[in-house]
Structure 1
Amino acid sequence: MSHALHTAQINILNAQVHMPALARLAVTFAVAVVKWDTRRKTRRTLKTLEPDQLRDIGLDRSSAQAEASKPFWQD
């Protein structure tokens, strides 16, 4: 998603309490989709990193594979 919202923007939208119920539901759904898409992309990228790149971010190969194997909806 090239037009994904930044975390700060998502938090602002999510914090809106004076929204009609349907709008609130739509925002909640949109936030979930953005989070899922971010996880999917991050986990796909983890599969392609070289050992030195994994060390740079503080992960070993087994930790990266464990994270990459999770489905996008799982935290």
Structure 2
Amino acid sequence: MKGQREYASEEQLSGHGHIVSDLLHKFSRWYELHREREMLAGLSDEALKDIGISRADVEHETVRPFWDDPMHK
């Protein structure tokens, strides 16, 4: 009986590990979005013109919440 309880615990832990892994991935993605939006906001007008983005586009992007992921990763 004791071995069965240990097996069930291992099964439960592996399920929780997947959830934790997914959460860590999500937090990492949110931080990446935050950093990218900060970097975009820091570009000069000339650099934005080179990549075809207006300052208004940047303003629109930088006010989005960190969890708003346009690529749904």
State the TM-score, normalized to the length of structure 1.
0.67
Dislocated runs of 4+, deviation >4 Å = none
Question: What is the identity, as a one-letter code, of the residue corresponding to 1:48?
Answer: G
Q: Per the alignment, in what secondary structure is the counterpart of residue 36 of structure 2?
A: helix
**Residue ranges of structure 2 left out of the alignment (5+ in a row):** 1-13
Pick the structure with greater CA Rg: 2
Aligned-residue CA RMSD in angstroms?
1.6
Which residue of 3, 21, 24 maps to 2:15?
Answer: 21
Check the 8 A contact 1:54/1:60 in 2, yes or no: yes
Between structures 1 and 2, the one with greater helix share? 2
Give the count of matched residue pairs: 57
**Residue ranges of structure 1 left out of the alignment (5+ in a row):** 1-19
State the TM-score, normalized to the length of structure 2.
0.69
Which residue of 63, 68, 71 maps to 1:69?
Answer: 63
Bigger RCO of structures 1 and 2 (CA < 8 A, at least 6 apart): 2
